[in-house]
Amino acid sequence: MPQAMPPASRAAALTDTGWRAESGGLAKFHAPEIVFGPGSLAELGYCALRVGARRPFLVTDPGIIEAGWVDEATRHLREAGLRPIVWHEVTPNPKDHEIEQAFAGYAAAGGDVIIAVGGGSCIDAAKGVAILSGNGGRILGFEGVDKVVNPIPPLVMVPSTSGTGADVSQFCVVTDTTSHTKVTIISRTLVPDISIIDPRLLTTMPDWLNAATGLDALTHAIEAYVSKAHNILTDHHALHAVTLVTGNLLRTQTSPRVPGPRIAMAQGALEAGMAFTNAILGATHAMSHQVGGLLDAPHGVINGVLLPHVIRFNAAHDPRRFVPLAAAAGIKVEGLPAAEVAELLAQHVRTLADAVGVPRGLAGLGVGDHNVGHLAQTTLKDACLATNPRDATAADIEALLRAAL
């Protein structure tokens, strides 16, 4: 009788027959537990209890308090027998000193589970508090990839915008107030334990924030799909996010209280977030972080300005992956050369940005030609640039920034 093939040999034989090539290689995918749907905020108390809360520390901002969502959130926490502490001293593009002050408040109050109710700034600030709780030090010392080495407290996130993806991501973005740049902290420990996505919270966003976060979600999806680190799991979510965002963002501006488009944007933002936290991003975000750090400008608005230029830059190297993206956005691509399709996608993004009221250039946000050299140099240090599909030099980045002025 023939002898059975040893396990190692069987594995090698499977590889030799093309299994790895057919699958696209190994794929890793990190995601929190997700509670999705209108009214899901009511689950907050139970979710916090399940991850060990007794004295949860809730990070938010004055606008979310004014909208009434913090009252509802704390009611659900108290109904579950918890004693929440509310910290609301967070501003857009959270600053290093704000995060360190919040951590001091967390430590003094004896907090345990960390909750964020708000947009990406509140969620990033909450992650910053968690980093310091588990690792000590100063928040800027964790810039880069996998610098958060010790466990952190459980995180429960409740996003109030449809775009940042911070509630499902391994990213934390902090403004360095000394150098006027943004630092990116990337660590698998920062993927929240639970994300509660209640589309009702999206209805209290002002129009400018709705536009900004929606374009941020679109940028996440497009950059994740073309990223050097994409895989078959991220591709699916990225393409579906493009369909949801391009089909619904403008409708949320014109009919802000209609449930359908809001639910679709909540799902689009979620799927874009799951795509980019696993595939990482590209040059749009690498530049946008620097402009936002310099000017304290809305991140999604900057993305909306930069993205068409980056699509053209990357497509000049290889336009093929922009074809499925264009199709997902509803562009007719049959029979067209890939380069032409990529250009149509760039134009489509700009048309959507126009429709939701985003400035056509960085100059409208306060960027001048005298800023370009500095911004290019700090962009080269941003972790997101590493996965851009086309390598970029300082001269390339300068050219892109000038084209976007």
Position 27 scores a pLDDT of 83
Question: Rounded to 10 degrees, what is the CA torsion of 350, 353, 355, 356?
Answer: 180
Cα-trace Rg, the chain: 21
The β-bridge partners of 85 are 57
**Hey, where are the domains in the chain?**
33-201, 206-404
Position 1 scores a pLDDT of 47
Position 6 scores a pLDDT of 57
Position 11 scores a pLDDT of 52
pLDDT tens for the chain, residues 1 to 405: 445 555 555 555 555 556 666 666 788 899 999 999 999 999 999 999 999 999 999 999 999 999 999 999 999 999 999 999 999 999 999 999 999 999 999 999 999 999 999 999 999 999 999 999 999 999 999 999 999 999 999 999 999 999 999 999 999 999 999 999 999 999 999 999 999 999 999 999 999 999 999 999 999 999 999 999 999 999 999 999 999 999 999 999 999 999 999 999 999 999 999 999 999 999 999 999 999 999 988 999 999 999 999 999 999 999 999 999 999 999 999 999 999 999 999 999 999 999 999 999 999 999 999 999 999 999 999 999 999 999 999 999 999 999 999
Cα→Cα distances 147→47, 128, 135, 189, 235, Å: 28, 13, 10, 10, 27
Position 26 scores a pLDDT of 80
Position 28 scores a pLDDT of 82
CA 32 vs. chain centroid, Å, equals 14
Domain 206-404 coded CATH 1.10.150.120: no
Beta carbons within 10 angstroms of residue 207's beta carbon: 13
Contact between residue 207 and residue 253 where contact means Cβ atoms under 8 Å apart? yes
Can you tell me which residue has the tokens 């991501």? 169
CATH architecture of residue range(s) 33-201: 3-Layer(aba) Sandwich (3.40)
Position 188 scores a pLDDT of 94
For 314-380, give the secondary structure using H, E and C: HHHHCCCCHHHHHHHCCCCCCCCCHHHHHHHHHHHHHHHHHHCCCCCCHHHHCCCHHHHHHHHHHHC
Position 22 scores a pLDDT of 63
